[in-house]
């Protein structure tokens, strides 16, 4: 699920950036630092959409670095248990398959794949129904449901299922 | 506090879950002789008939070796069915105790007590913890159901993987770390062994790979198991729901229970003779393990019995409050109208009017009987006086009749008034009878209010009371 929230961060800026475009430098450094990171609490920071305010800078003794408290708006993505996501399959093996929904990785074990789909090994390993009409392989797009999340301080990993109504392949690259 | 439903719950749970529990270690060979399955049920049943009990005593009662019993009890403690308490009693205390017991209690018990005391220093006690049992059983059922359902639907279960070589377990959440680059299997982090999925643990015992056939078979088996569980555990579930709103019997800690049981035992015995004080003092002094003969359940029964008796007596009192038999009512008794009972009053009252008055006037009930007596006399006197007066009046009327022209009129009015109403009567009375009537009020001054009441009633009722009006005048 996506959220638009305000976060705060203390930015350290090198003295060489002090000048006319200090603020631009600060913002670009913030984007570089923050976007794409993951915190267990808020999820993945997808994008910074704006700066709320920049507080007073504090010059560090010895280094000359200046610390600015920056409040910024950002879009975060946090997967929840029970959430339905669309994801791209990245890897298929005997144990199940891995998929990615943006930054989050999801594992679907073979027990959570419908019983009528069987693993086919080969140079393009895949899960296929007996009539061959549905095939899950690398780069397939699947709709899945998250049934468990593992949230570490800097990492979120999910397990999902496609063994439910309206879940499964939504777009097959091989067919296209 | 009724223990019975909870005892039933314990018994059902024991038979459902602990029937085939053997407390033997796995290393010991299971021969027919050493097979002690079912012991758990026996112990639990025995505990339902007791409250706090010393483990040695329990062992003796069950004819079990105390070690075996202890092993079973430890198992139940881990299962949270039983609370245990261990108390260390010094050898000295035990000796003094036994000596004191020898002095007070009869011989057989003394020997038993003393012997045990000297030999054993640490005593363990155990007791069923009904509140916890209730929770434990519910939790167990819930877990069983959940496990089966999850397995059955294969839904929302986090797949588990196990390393066959080092028995390390992983969940699907670890999957990212476990994929190896060279093949499509998960590999153990520590020993790099190939992991196997561990979900079909219930049904896959009879072998069979994860192919379709096996899966279908497994599903059927799970479904079957779930159904069987529902059927077989139905009595237990029903008992749980029956017990749900009942207050849980609570025995408290060993100390608290002992204090209570001792008090109850003394109350039940009735005689607080030399035995009891000595025992209680000993109990307090040396750890209070001095309830040898107060059978645990017996204590409770006695207690409840005593309470029951008390209630019965109370209820009797209450009922007796309602209606006292007439012979029990004495003068000056502070009783309500209902206690006396209407019928009795009326029977005592000669005049119906008077009884009516009494039923109405609650305050006067205290002096009820006095009044009645007075009233009776009063009525008699009144009738006598009335008779006399009537004769006089008649004579006077005759005289008047002769002398006065309108005396005839007066006579007729008087006679008519006797039947019809008081007004005319009063008029008539005004004439000459005042003096005579005044005597009676002097005699019964205290009963003013009574008199008034009587008269008022008389208005409504029959002929005789017509004359009462005269009293009012007086």
pLDDT reported for residue A7: 94
pLDDT reported for residue B197: 77
Q: Which helix (H) or strand (E) holds A9?
A: strand A2-13
Cβ separation A115–B175 shorter than 8 A? no
Give B117's strand partners. none
Token pair in block for residue B235: 């009595």
- What is the average pLDDT across A131-147? 91
Stronger pLDDT, A125 or B392, i.e. the higher one? A125
User: In a mutagenesis test of the A interface, which of B159, B163, B178, B187 is the best target, namely the one with the most A β-carbons within 10 Å?
Assistant: B159
Mean pLDDT of all residues belonging to chain B: 65
Q: Which helix (H) or strand (E) holds B55?
A: helix B55-62
Token pair in block for residue A36: 């794409």
Cβ separation B172–A109 shorter than 8 A? yes
Token pair in block for residue B195: 């992991």
Cα three-residue angle B1-B2-B8, rounded to 5 degrees: 145
Please, which pLDDT band fits residue B322 given cuts at 50, 70 and 90? low
Express as a percent the part of chain B with pLDDT over 90.
Answer: 0
Cβ separation B176–A95 shorter than 8 A? no
Please, which pLDDT band fits residue A115 given cuts at 50, 70 and 90? confident
Closest-CA residue of A relative to B178 is: A95
pLDDT reported for residue B70: 87
pLDDT reported for residue B60: 87
Mean pLDDT of all residues belonging to chain A: 90
Token pair in block for residue B46: 């025995």
- Separation between Cα atoms, residue B279 and residue B285, nearest integer Å: 10
Please, which pLDDT band fits residue B384 given cuts at 50, 70 and 90? confident
- What is the average pLDDT across B232-250? 86
- What is the average pLDDT across B304-310? 42
- What is the average pLDDT across B107-115? 40
Cβ separation B158–A115 shorter than 8 A? no
- Separation between Cα atoms, residue A8 and residue A2, nearest integer Å: 18
- Separation between Cα atoms, residue B277 and residue B43, nearest integer Å: 33
The sheet with strand B169-171 has its strands ordered as B169-171, B160-162, B196-197
Stronger pLDDT, A67 or B96, i.e. the higher one? A67
pLDDT reported for residue B416: 44
Stronger pLDDT, B188 or B24, i.e. the higher one? B188
pLDDT reported for residue B359: 44
Residue A66 predicted with pLDDT over 50: yes
Q: Is A161 on the interface with B (CB under 8 A)?
A: yes
Cβ separation B215–A115 shorter than 8 A? yes
pLDDT reported for residue B269: 63
Nearest to A111 among B154, B173, B184 (CB): B154
> Phi/psi at A131 (nearest 5 deg)?
-85, 0
- Separation between Cα atoms, residue B306 and residue B311, nearest integer Å: 9
Least confident interval from B52-61, B198-207, B411-420: B411-420
B368: number of CA atoms within 13 Å, CB side? 30
Ramachandran category for residue B322: left, alpha or beta (phi over 0 → left; psi -120 to 50 → alpha): alpha
Q: How far is A9 from chain B (nearest CA, A)?
A: 30
- Residue B244 burial class via C-beta count within 10 angstroms: exposed 0-12, middle 13-18, buried 19 and up: exposed
- What is the average pLDDT across B155-182? 78
C-beta separation of A144 from A79 below 8 A: no
* Predicted interface score ipTM higher than 0.85: no
Stronger pLDDT, A50 or B247, i.e. the higher one? A50
- Residue B126 burial class via C-beta count within 10 angstroms: exposed 0-12, middle 13-18, buried 19 and up: buried
Q: Which helix (H) or strand (E) holds B292?
A: none
> Phi/psi at B270 (nearest 5 deg)?
85, -50
Token pair in block for residue B106: 């009869």
- Separation between Cα atoms, residue A85 and residue A80, nearest integer Å: 10
Name the residue ranges covered by the structural domains of chain A: 2-77, 84-171
B197: number of CA atoms within 13 Å, CB side? 18
- What is the average pLDDT across B100-122? 45
Question: Which DSSP string corresponds to B145-161?
Answer: HHHHHHHHHT-SPPPEE
- What is the average pLDDT across B386-391? 83
Q: Is B201 on the interface with A (CB under 8 A)?
A: no
Cβ separation A111–B185 shorter than 8 A? no
Least confident interval from A16-30, A149-163, B442-456: B442-456
Stronger pLDDT, B36 or B388, i.e. the higher one? B388
Give Cβ neighbours of residue B132 (< 8 Å, ≥ 6 apart): B80, B81, B83
- Separation between Cα atoms, residue B432 and residue B455, nearest integer Å: 20
- Separation between Cα atoms, residue B112 and residue B99, nearest integer Å: 12
pLDDT reported for residue B324: 61
Nearest to B172 among A91, A93, A107 (CB): A107
Nearest to B212 among A112, A115, A161 (CB): A115
- Separation between Cα atoms, residue B288 and residue A4, nearest integer Å: 67
User: In a mutagenesis test of the B interface, which of A109, A113, A125 is the best target, namely the one with the most B β-carbons within 10 Å?
Assistant: A109
- Separation between Cα atoms, residue B158 and residue B417, nearest integer Å: 108
Please, which pLDDT band fits residue A60 given cuts at 50, 70 and 90? very high
Residue A120 predicted with pLDDT over 70: yes
Altogether, the residues listed in chain A come to a count of: 176
pLDDT reported for residue A141: 93
Maximum mean pLDDT: which of B44-48, B157-161, B277-281, B422-426: B44-48
B379: number of CA atoms within 13 Å, CB side? 18
- Hey, which residues 176-195 in chain B have their CB within 8 Å of chain A? 176, 179, 184-186
Cβ separation B154–A163 shorter than 8 A? yes
Cβ separation A109–B210 shorter than 8 A? no
- What is the average pLDDT across B443-450? 45
Cβ separation A94–B156 shorter than 8 A? no
User: Which residues of B are less than 8 Å from A96 in CB distance?
Assistant: 159, 172, 175
- What is the average pLDDT across B441-455? 45
pLDDT reported for residue B178: 80
Cβ separation A111–B155 shorter than 8 A? no
pLDDT reported for residue B19: 82
- Separation between Cα atoms, residue A152 and residue B267, nearest integer Å: 63
Stronger pLDDT, B413 or B383, i.e. the higher one? B383
Q: How far is CA B81 from CA B63, B74, B454, in A?
A: 22, 10, 76
Cα three-residue angle B365-B367-B372, rounded to 5 degrees: 90
- Separation between Cα atoms, residue B74 and residue B23, nearest integer Å: 10
User: In a mutagenesis test of the B interface, which of A80, A83, A107, A122 is the best target, namely the one with the most B β-carbons within 10 Å?
Assistant: A107
Closest-CA residue of B relative to A150 is: B173
CATH class of A84-171: mainly beta
Interval B178-190: pLDDT, tens:
877 767 778 888 8
pLDDT reported for residue A33: 93
- Separation between Cα atoms, residue A131 and residue A138, nearest integer Å: 19
pLDDT reported for residue A80: 93
Please, which pLDDT band fits residue B330 given cuts at 50, 70 and 90? low
Pairs across A and B, CB distance < 8 A: 65
User: Which residues of B are less than 8 Å from A125 in CB distance?
Assistant: 184
pLDDT reported for residue A55: 93
The sheet with strand A117-120 has its strands ordered as A117-120, A126-129, A135-136
Cα three-residue angle B287-B292-B294, rounded to 5 degrees: 115
Residue B139 predicted with pLDDT over 70: yes
Interval B248-273: pLDDT, tens:
887 777 778 777 777 777 776 654 44
C-beta separation of B421 from B465 below 8 A: no
Q: How far is CA B217 from CA B152, B251, B429, in A?
A: 11, 49, 115
pLDDT reported for residue B331: 58
- Separation between Cα atoms, residue A138 and residue A132, nearest integer Å: 16
**Radius of gyration from C-alpha coordinates of chain B:** 45
Residue with token string 């059922």: B141
Closest-CA residue of A relative to B151 is: A111
User: Which residues of B are less than 8 Å from A121 in CB distance?
Assistant: 184
Cβ separation A164–B173 shorter than 8 A? no
Positive/negative CA dihedral, A51, A56, A61, A65: positive
Nearest to B173 among A93, A110, A157 (CB): A157
Interval B358-380: pLDDT, tens:
444 444 444 556 666 777 777 78
User: In a mutagenesis test of the B interface, which of A79, A83, A91, A159 is the best target, namely the one with the most B β-carbons within 10 Å?
Assistant: A159
Question: Which DSSP string corresponds to A140-153?
Answer: -EEEEEEEEEEE-S
Fold of A2-77: Dna Ligase; domain 1 (3.30.1490)
Residue B300 predicted with pLDDT over 50: no
Nearest to B173 among A121, A150, A161 (CB): A150
Cα dihedral B225→B228→B229→B232 (10° resolution): -160
pLDDT reported for residue A133: 87
- What is the average pLDDT across B402-430? 47
Interval B336-355: pLDDT, tens:
555 555 444 444 444 444 44
Closest-CA residue of B relative to A117 is: B212
Least confident interval from A65-79, A81-95, B286-300, B430-444: B286-300
Residue A100 predicted with pLDDT over 90: yes
pLDDT reported for residue B192: 80
pLDDT reported for residue B439: 47
- Separation between Cα atoms, residue B8 and residue B69, nearest integer Å: 22
């Amino acid at each position: 699920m996506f959220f638009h929230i305000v976060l705060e961060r203390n930015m350290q800026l090198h003295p060489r950036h002090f000048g006319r475009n200090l603020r631009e430098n600060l913002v670009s450094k913030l984007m570089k630092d923050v976007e794409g990171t993951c915190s267990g609490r808020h999820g993945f920071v997808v994008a910074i959409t704006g700066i709320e305010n920049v507080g007073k800078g504090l010059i560090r003794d010895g280094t000359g670095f200046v610390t600015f408290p920056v409040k910024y708006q950002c879009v975060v993505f946090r997967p929840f248990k029970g959430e339905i996501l669309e994801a791209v399959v990245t890897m298929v093996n005997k144990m199940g398959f891995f998929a990615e929904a943006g930054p989050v990785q999801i594992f679907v074990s073979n027990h959570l794949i419908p019983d009528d789909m069987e693993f086919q090994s080969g140079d393009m390993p895949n899960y296929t129904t007996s009539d061959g009409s549905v095939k899950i392989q690398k780069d397939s797009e699947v709709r899945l449901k998250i049934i468990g999340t593992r949230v570490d301080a800097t990492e979120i990993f999910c397990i999902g299922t496609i063994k439910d109504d309206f879940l499964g392949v939504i777009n097959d690259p091989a067919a296209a | 506090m009724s223990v019975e439903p909870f005892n039933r719950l314990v018994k059902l749970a024991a038979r459902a879950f602990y029937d085939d529990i053997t407390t033997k270690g796995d290393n010991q060979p299971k021969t027919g002789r050493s097979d002690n399955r079912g012991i758990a049920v026996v112990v639990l049943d025995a505990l339902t008939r007791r409250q706090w009990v010393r483990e040695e005593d329990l062992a003796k009662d069950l004819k079990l070796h105390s070690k075996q019993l202890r092993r079973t009890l430890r198992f139940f403690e881990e299962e949270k069915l039983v609370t245990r308490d261990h108390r260390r009693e010094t050898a000295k205390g035990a000796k003094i105790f036994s000596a004191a017991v020898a002095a007070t209690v009869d011989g057989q018990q003394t020997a038993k007590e003393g012997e045990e005391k000297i030999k054993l220093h640490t005593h363990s006690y155990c007791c069923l913890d009904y509140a916890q049992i209730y929770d434990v059983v519910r939790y167990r059922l819930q877990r069983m159901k959940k496990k089966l359902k999850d397995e059955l639907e294969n839904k929302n279960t986090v797949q588990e993987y196990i390393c066959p070589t080092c028995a390390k377990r992983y969940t699907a959440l670890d999957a990212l770390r476990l994929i190896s680059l060279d093949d499509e299997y998960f590999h153990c982090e520590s020993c790099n062994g190939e992991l196997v999925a561990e979900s079909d643990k219930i049904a896959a015992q009879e072998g069979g790979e994860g192919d379709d056939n096996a899966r279908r078979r497994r599903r059927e088996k799970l479904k079957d198991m779930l159904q069987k569980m529902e059927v077989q555990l139905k009595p237990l579930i029903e008992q749980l729901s029956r017990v749900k709103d009942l207050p849980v019997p609570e025995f408290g800690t060993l100390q608290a229970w002992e204090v209570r049981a001792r008090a109850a035992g003394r109350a039940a015995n009735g005689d607080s003779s030399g035995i009891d004080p000595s025992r209680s003092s000993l109990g307090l002094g040396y750890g209070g393990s001095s309830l040898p003969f107060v059978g645990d359940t017996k204590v409770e029964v006695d207690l409840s019995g005593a309470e029951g008796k008390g209630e019965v007596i109370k209820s009797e009192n209450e009922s007796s409050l309602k209606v006292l038999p007439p012979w029990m009512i004495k003068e000056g008794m502070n009783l309500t109208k209902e206690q006396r009972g209407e019928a009795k009053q009326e029977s005592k009252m000669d005049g119906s009017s008077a009884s009516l008055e009494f039923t109405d006037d609650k305050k006067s009930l205290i002096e009820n009987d006095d009044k009645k007596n007075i009233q009776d006399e009063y009525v008699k006197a009144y009738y006598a006086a009335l008779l006399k007066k009537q004769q006089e009046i008649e004579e006077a009327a005759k005289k008047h009749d002769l002398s006065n022209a309108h005396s005839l009129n007066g006579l007729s009015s008087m006679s008519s008034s006797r039947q019809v109403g008081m007004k005319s009567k009063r008029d008539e009375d005004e004439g000459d009878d005042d003096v005579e009537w005044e005597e009676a009020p002097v005699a019964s001054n205290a009963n003013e209010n009574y008199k008034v009441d009587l008269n008022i009633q008389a208005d409504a009722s029959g002929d005789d009371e017509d004359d009462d009006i005269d009293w009012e005048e007086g």
